[in-house]
């Protein structure tokens, strides 16, 4: 009986660890995305940092990436920058890959 409980605890701990890693990678991805948007819309470093915080908050509102995707597309459009959903999604994927690598090396 103790063996089953130990296995269950180990699985729960692994799940929590994996979720924390995913959260950190997504937050880092959003910072990288903010830098990408900042370059395209000529935001100052302070504005880019504020935008990164907005993306992170937006990402927490609903599960999935669509909220972030729609916010970026709308914000780019508001600044007169044309970007398709597929272009932004590709950048999101690229930034997530970078972020996952960076956060994995942090331990």
- Reported as a single tens digit per residue, the pLDDT across 31-82 is 999 999 999 999 999 999 999 999 988 888 887 889 999 999 999 999 999 9
Residue 86 to residues 69, 83, 98: CA-CA distances in angstroms?
A: 9, 8, 18
pLDDT, mean over the chain = 89
pTM: 0.83
DSSP string, 23-42: HHHHHHHHHHHHHHHHHHHT
From residue 96, how far is each of 27, 28, 59, 90 by CA, in Å? 9, 8, 13, 10
Q: Residue 101 is part of which domain span?
A: 2-105
Percentage of residues of the chain with pLDDT beyond 90: 64
CATH classification at residue 29? 1.10.790.20
- What's the domain count of the chain? 1
Higher confidence at residue 94 or residue 64? 94
């Amino acid at each position: 009986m103790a063996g089953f409980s130990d296995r269950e605890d180990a699985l729960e701990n692994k799940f929590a660890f994996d979720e924390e890693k995913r959260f950190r990678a997504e937050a880092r991805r959003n910072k990288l995305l903010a830098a990408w948007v900042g370059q395209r819309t000529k935001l100052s470093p302070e504005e880019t940092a504020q935008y990164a915080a907005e993306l992170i908050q937006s990402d927490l509102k609903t599960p999935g990436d669509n909220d972030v995707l729609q916010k970026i597309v709308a914000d780019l459009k508001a600044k007169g920058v044309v970007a398709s959903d597929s272009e932004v999604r590709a950048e999101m994927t690229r930034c997530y890959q970078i972020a996952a690598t960076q956060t994995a090396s942090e331990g």
